[in-house]
Amino acid sequence: MSETNAFDNAIAQIENASGCCSNSDKKLIEILKFPQKIIEVSIPLRMDNGSIRVFTGFRVQHNNARGPYKGGVRFHPGVTLDEVKALSLWMSMKCAVVNIPYGGAKGGIIVDPKKLTGHELEHLTRGYVDKVFDFIGPIKDVPAPDVNTNAQTMAWIMDEYSLLSREHSPAVVTGKPVANEGSLGRDTATAMGGKHVLLEYLKAKGVNPKTMTVAVQGFGNAGYNIAKLLHDEGMSIVAIADSKGTVYNESGIDPMRALKYKEKHGSIKNLPDSVEIKSEEIFGLDCDVLIPAALENAIDHKIAKTVKAKIILELANGPITPEADIILKEKNITVIPDILANSGGVTVSYFEWVQNLSRDYWTLETVENKLREIMVNAFTDIYNFANRKKATMRSAAFALAMNRIIEATKNRGILS
Known binding-site positions: 70, 94, 190, 221, 349
DSSP track, 319-344: -B-HHHHHHHHHTT-EEE-HHHHTTH
Neighbours of 77 (CB within 10 A): 12
Q: Where are the beta strands (DSSP E) in 31-134?
A: 37-46, 52-63, 69-76, 104-110
Binding site for NAD(+): which residues? 190, 221
Q: Is 264 considered catalytic here?
A: no
Burial of 136 (0-12, 13-18, 19+ CB in 10 A): buried
Q: Which helix (H) or strand (E) holds 89?
A: helix 81-97
E strand residue ranges, 64-163: 69-76, 104-110, 141-145
Per annotation, catalytic residue among 33, 85, 106, 244: 106
- Give the sheet arrangement for strand 104-110, strand by strand: 37-46, 52-63, 104-110, 69-76, 141-145
For the annotated binding site for substrate, the residues are: 70, 94, 349
Amino acid at 153: T
DSSP secondary structure code for residue 174 in this structure: S
Catalytic residues: 106
